[in-house]
């Protein structure tokens, strides 16, 4: 993703339900990660003319409740793609592996962007979860 804009419009949000929840005043994003030390939410707002890309750094003191990372964004756009970048200590013996370079799919996502036949997958490289609010 190029031209990513750091963003600070997010509010604390709620830990539950996990995944995304469309609310009258925005979209709540919630992700479980017990061993994460930092989480970024990457958003692409898709318009007919252009795509705007944003990065939200979740504050572990403000946007974390127990093992749940969460943020509420005042988004009302009709088509949004999102994914998470999660970082922490990799401990193979404990089964925890982190790579800040990978963009993760929300396990509660209900729609992934379709793959184009014969083209390389964008999964892991770009936000691939989709939300249609309109």
Cis ω on the peptide bond leading into residue 75 (within 30° of 0)?
Answer: no
- Residue 28: burial class (beta carbons within 10 Å; 0-12, 13-18, 19+): buried
Q: What is the mean pLDDT of each run of 10 residues along the chain (134 residues)?
A: 54 92 91 93 84 90 95 82 90 81 89 74 75 76
- Tell me the residue range of the domain where 99 lies: 5-132
Say what the pTM is: 0.83
pLDDT digits (tens, 9 = 90+) for 3-36: 554 456 678 899 999 999 999 888 999 999 988 9
Q: How many domains does the chain have?
A: 1
* CATH, residue 21: 2.60.40.10
Q: Residue 4: what pLDDT?
A: 55
**CB neighbourhood size of 116 (10 A):** 9
Residue keyed to tokens 């318009």: 47
Q: Residue 56: what pLDDT?
A: 93
Q: Residue 1: what pLDDT?
A: 40
């Amino acid at each position: 993703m190029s031209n990513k804009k750091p963003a600070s419009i997010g509010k604390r949000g709620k830990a539950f339900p996990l995944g995304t929840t469309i609310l009258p005043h925005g979209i709540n994003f919630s992700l479980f990660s017990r061993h994460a030390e930092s989480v970024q939410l990457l958003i692409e707002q898709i318009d007919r003319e252009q795509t705007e890309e944003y990065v939200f750094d979740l504050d572990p003191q403000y946007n974390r409740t127990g093992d749940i990372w969460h943020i509420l964004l005042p988004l009302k756009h009709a088509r949004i793609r999102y994914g998470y970048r999660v970082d922490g200590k990799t401990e193979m013996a404990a089964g925890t592996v982190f790579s800040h370079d990978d963009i993760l799919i929300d396990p509660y996502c209900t729609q992934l962007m379709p793959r184009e036949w014969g083209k390389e997958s964008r999964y892991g490289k770009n936000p691939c979860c989709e939300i249609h609010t309109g």
